[in-house]
């Protein structure tokens, strides 16, 4: 992903400026940055690229497992649990190579771009070859993802993930990885850190860390991952209390909740994001809030896997910033994730209006980017990265409301199919609903997934 340093102007018919919809906004861009925002511009200036509809900052997908996209449809057959779903997922993971992973991720990230996403947080734990044998380049799979993001025109934060055990046994020991998980494991957190340290950042790619879960990294090794991230001031993500079985196992071995264990081992902090945070105690919520650790909600996956509804309202009130992710990619639609977070809470509480449309858009943009280590993205203002996502206001879903209600229309009615234009880092990636770099995204997805079938 490269950007042209020349100056250009985008004219936004209607722009979401964080608090309100502003008509007629000219955004001047040099390279990948916004250099000026001029309101009161009723018509496109000479030479400007017109973006008609409602333009919001580029969306951030704060939690992705790219290879899970190959499961769409397949795992919706019949019934089951998270754990039966996981067995199907292992089957896909077993068949991936760096080449096939690149092809799949390129198509998946292109699908994200079509949905208005300009930055993805890839929670990456598929590191090695079959049986756990490292590739000649130990980071071949991670490099495939970084290249795929560039090829699809989006930025990436590669959250390289420590995953060394299949379950909890004691303070220092975990159950050995099963035959599928051998591809995920470096053996120890220290070996993980040594491998992850050789990953290099690029203009479109940042490198963060992740603890897969407290069941996948023994307690005595959690500090290694936390220290690695702290030394680099990098994002640190962790699957947290997604399943009650995780909580039960942690209580049995450590006598505390996963949140308490992470806190005691120095994992929680302002650059930390807990993903899901579904089954928390009041004390857990307080710990996350006091440490200002973030929460990434993934409602479409959480409902698809019957995980439950996390206490997002309480977490935000406690001080935990919210972001959104599409996780297993049952669908890729950050607008739907935002809408689902509010609507799930309505179903649970029997009341409406827990978040304004503005607050939900912030979770989908600025706070999502901050969680991924891009605090200079997610707003339309001078100095920010030039990321723009334009949503049509005249589709069958969005037609009717007045433009000043564009934020409400986008969050509560629009879908990814209503995204018309996307600019990422000053570069047009999607124009009139077509991807500029991947000409036929459906065919790319079909071909990449077909290779992975039994």
Is there a contact between 208 and 239 (Cβ–Cβ < 8 Å)? no
Active site members: 276, 327
Write phi, then psi, for 272 (nearest 5 degrees).
Answer: -95, 140
The sign of the torsion formed by the CA atoms of 329, 334, 339, 343 equals positive
Minimal CA–CA distance to 55: which of 365, 371, 370, 439?
365
Token code pair at residue 315 = 């977490």
Per-residue pLDDT of the chain (454 residues; tens, 9 = 90+): 544 568 999 999 999 999 999 999 999 999 999 999 999 999 999 999 999 999 999 999 999 999 999 999 887 777 777 767 778 888 888 999 999 999 999 999 999 999 999 999 999 999 999 999 999 999 999 999 999 999 999 999 999 999 999 999 898 999 999 999 999 999 999 999 999 999 999 999 999 999 999 999 999 999 999 999 999 999 999 999 999 999 999 999 999 999 999 999 999 999 999 999 999 999 999 999 999 999 999 999 999 999 999 999 999 999 999 999 999 999 999 999 999 999 999 999 999 999 999 999 999 999 999 999 999 999 999 999 999 999 999 999 999 999 999 999 999 999 999 999 999 999 999 999 999 999 999 999 999 999 998 6
């Amino acid at each position: 992903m490269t950007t042209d340093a020349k100056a250009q102007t985008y004219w936004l018919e209607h722009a979401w400026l964080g608090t309100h919809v502003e008509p007629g906004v000219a955004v001047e861009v040099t390279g990948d940055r916004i250099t000026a925002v001029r309101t009161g511009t009723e018509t496109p200036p000479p030479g400007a690229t017109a973006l008609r509809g409602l333009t919001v900052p580029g969306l951030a997908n704060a939690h992705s497992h790219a290879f899970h996209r190959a499961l769409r449809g397949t795992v919706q057959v019949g019934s089951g649990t998270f754990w039966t779903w996981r067995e199907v997922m292992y089957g896909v993971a077993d068949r991936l190579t760096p080449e096939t992973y690149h092809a799949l991720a390129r198509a998946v990230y292109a699908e994200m771009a079509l949905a208005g996403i300009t930055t993805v947080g890839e929670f990456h734990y598929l590191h090695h070859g079959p049986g756990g044998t490292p590739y000649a380049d130990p980071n071949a799979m991670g490099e495939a993802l970084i290249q795929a993001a560039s090829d699809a025109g989006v930025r990436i934060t590669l959250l390289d993930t420590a995953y060394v055990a299949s379950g909890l046994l004691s303070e220092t020991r975990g159950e050995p990885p099963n035959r599928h998980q051998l591809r995920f494991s470096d053996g120890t957190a220290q070996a993980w850190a040594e491998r992850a340290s050789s990953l290099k950042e690029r203009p479109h790619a940042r490198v963060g860390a992740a603890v897969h879960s407290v069941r996948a990294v023994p307690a005595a090794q959690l500090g290694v991952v936390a220290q690695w991230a702290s030394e680099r001031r990098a994002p640190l993500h962790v699957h947290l209390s997604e399943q009650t079985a995780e909580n039960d196992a942690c209580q049995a071995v450590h006598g505390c909740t996963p949140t308490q264990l992470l806190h005691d081992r120095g994992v929680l902090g302002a650059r930390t994001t807990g993903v899901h945070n579904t089954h928390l105690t009041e004390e857990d919520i307080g710990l996350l809030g006091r440490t200002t650790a973030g929460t990434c909600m993934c409602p479409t996956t959480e409902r698809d896997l019957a995980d439950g509804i996390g206490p997002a309202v309480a977490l935000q009130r406690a001080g935990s910033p919210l972001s959104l992710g599409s996780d297993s990619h049952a669908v890729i639609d950050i607008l739907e994730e935002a809408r689902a977070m509010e609507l799930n809470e309505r179903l649970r509480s029997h009341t409406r209006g827990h978040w304004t449309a503005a607050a939900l858009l912030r979770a989908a943009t600025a706070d999502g980017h901050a969680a991924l280590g891009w605090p200079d993205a997610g707003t339309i203002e001078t100095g920010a990265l030039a990321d723009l996502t334009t949503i049509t206001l005249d589709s069958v879903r969005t037609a009717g409301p007045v433009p000043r209600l564009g934020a409400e229309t986008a969050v509560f009615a629009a879908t990814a199919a209503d995204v018309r234009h996307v600019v990422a880092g000053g570069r047009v990636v999607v124009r009139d609903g077509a991807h500029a770099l991947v000409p036929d995204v459906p065919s790319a997805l079909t071909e990449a997934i077909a290779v992975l079938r039994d």
